[in-house]
Structure 1
Amino acid sequence: MSYGIKAYKSVGVKDDLAVADPHRIIQLLMQGALENMAKAKGHIERKNYAGKSEAISKTMAIIGALQSSLDMKAGGEISENLYSLYEFMLNELSVASREQSQTKIQEVMDLLLTIKSAWDQIPVVDREKGYAMRSSLAQGAA
């Protein structure tokens, strides 16, 4: 890919993040993780182990960020389940990296795609309710 296209895509993502609401940021993080896992699979196929390591490291950092962004108090059982699922994904990616396993990477991709699909379907009205709830909780804590 040419430098100009990479720069354009980078600016596009930065612009998207600059105006994104929390819901959109999570979507972008999930998309970034999926893209990096696809890259890792390609690197394994081409026996580019340095590229594979970099792509899996980026994926693990994103999944770690998703995991740490969970509101365990407000999210209750859903947050607990997602936390465990993200932990499972991190462990599987570690094994996939060590074993050069495209299959394990695909399994993590499938899990994340399921979560992202559900996330993408959250209605705007429910997102707004969530923002309002977080705002009122934050004001109550202050």
Structure 2
Amino acid sequence: MNAMAALRQYQNVNTQSAVHDASPHRLIQMLMEGGLSRIAQARGSMEREEFAQKGMLIAKTVAIIGGLREALNFEVGGELAHNYANLYDYMSRRLGEANRSNDVEILDEVSGLLRTLKEGWDAVAQ
């Protein structure tokens, strides 16, 4: 096993451990962090014209946003949960547009929305 493979294995085990030990609130934070990271990586791939990589990273971001949407509790959250669901749907559609048009401004828009949500979510923990 080479050093890079060992590092990836260590990171995978470390991530699995962090997910296993995380509270529901922390899991949402981790999803949001992952989404922001993938958007930043997709932006870099777009700028370097690495279109296959960009598409894969945007698809991962859409999946993460889907996970955030699935975590919503409409019975408890009511109108607020529906508003979040609509925002997540909007973000997913915009990411699809960014992928098709190679538009970094759309990635920046979605990143800004997700960052704002994360800041609010982080404040809840405090």
Asked whether the two chains share a fold, i.e. TM above 0.5, the reply is yes
Other structure's SS at 2:72 match = coil
Aligned to 1:120: 122
Normalising by structure 2, we get a TM-score of 0.92
Other structure's SS at 1:70 match = coil
* Deviation for aligned residue 1:9: 2.3
Other structure's SS at 1:2 match = helix
Q: Percent identity over the alignment?
A: 37
* Deviation for aligned residue 1:12: 1.7
* Deviation for aligned residue 1:5: 3.1
Other structure's SS at 1:12 match = helix
| C-alpha distance in 1 between matches for 2:6 and 2:110 | 32
Bigger mean CA offset, 8-17 vs 45-54 = 8-17
Where do 5+ consecutive residues of structure 2 fail to align? none
Determine which structure has greater relative contact order: mean sequence separation of CA pairs < 8 Å that are 6+ residues apart, divided by chain length. 2
| C-alpha distance in 2 between matches for 1:60 and 1:31 | 13
Q: Verify: 1:83 aligned to 2:85, yes or no.
A: yes
* Maintained 8 Å contact 2:25/2:125: no
Aligned to 2:75: 73
Runs ≥4 residues deviating over 6 A: none
Tell me the alpha carbon deviations over residues 81-114 of structure 1, each in whole angstroms, 9 at most, x when there is no partner.
1011101100100000000011100100000000
Larger Rg: 1
Where do 5+ consecutive residues of structure 1 fail to align? 125-142
* Deviation for aligned residue 1:73: 1.1
Count of aligned positions? 124
CA RMSD of aligned residues (A): 1.4
